[in-house]
Chains A and B, each alone.
Chain A
């Protein structure tokens, strides 16, 4: 299975992958992007369950960044929609953030029944360093 070995490697990666860049400013208020994501998804999708994790610490961005997130959204609104359609709904709700500070968004979009079968937020694969030439753009 793909995710298990990747998941095991994630923890050590979190400590060595975080590369500080001099001069980069953090967000104005700690967790403000996270709070905004949560609020917008709640408004757009009325989720039964919303689990949001800031995964920026596992990537090559400064400490305190809010650039990489993983979200599990459980909503009846997803019934009958393909995975692609579900993800697009999430993107629509977070269009501003995705055009702005959010660089990566891992999405688990489930119906309530699907969530009950497997109620957990997965882990993301370890960062492989990202772009060395450009910075700031997703």
Chain B
């Protein structure tokens, strides 16, 4: 399942040359497309990171990550029950791979954006997950972390 789905999602993720509209690959994670349009590289990336509340740039896809650090980002989002987020696979597009590093002034992948703002990579997201900051940041975006619901369940038993 995941290989063909990954390719389909990757085709839609073709940066700067993508088809419009999105496809739901199954788990509610949108295969985000950047859409056609003019403007420079920075403007396009700016639009991409602002279009969705949670945007991540990964090596691989959420269904099939190809890097342990990218996978860690996917797993953290899954733990928090964040199902609707834009995921861009940099392995499919060398221009995107370099472009996002220039845009964020950050040398590595994965990269996480919340509400259009660059938050950091895997280490920072993990730190935010461990110290409770991620729950708070998601709350600000109107996303209720699944971990809050788990806690509530435990409290009421």
Contact = CB atoms under 8 A, between A and B. Distances in A.
Interface in A89-138: 91, 95, 98-99, 104-108, 124-134, 137-138
Interface residues of B, number: 34
B106 A125 contact: no
B133 to A, nearest CB: 9
A20 interface: no
Interface stretch (B11-19, B20-28, B35-43, B59-67): B59-67
Given A83-B127, A84-B120, A104 B69 contact: yes
Nearest to A9: B68
Contacts of A130: 59, 66-67
Contacts of A19: none
A6 B109 CA distance: 19
A125 B116 CA distance: 27
Given A83-B127, A84-B120, A128 B91 contact: no
Contact of B123 (A87, A88, A95, A133): A87
A126 B68 contact: yes
Contacts of B68: 6, 124-128
A137 B128 CA distance: 28
30 contacts: A1-B130, A2-B72, A2-B79, A2-B126, A2-B130, A3-B126, A83-B120, A83-B124, A84-B118, A84-B119, A84-B120, A91-B107, A95-B107, A99-B107, A104-B69, A106-B69, A106-B123, A107-B123, A125-B122, A126-B68, A128-B66, A128-B68, A128-B70, A128-B71, A129-B67, A130-B67, A131-B66, A133-B91, A138-B108, A138-B109
Interface of B: 59-60, 65-72, 75-76, 79, 91, 94, 97-98, 105-109, 118-124, 126-130
Given A128-B65, A133-B91, 20 more contacts: A1-B130, A2-B75, A2-B79, A2-B130, A83-B120, A83-B128, A84-B118, A84-B124, A87-B124, A91-B106, A91-B107, A95-B107, A104-B108, A105-B107, A107-B123, A108-B123, A125-B72, A128-B71, A129-B67, A130-B67
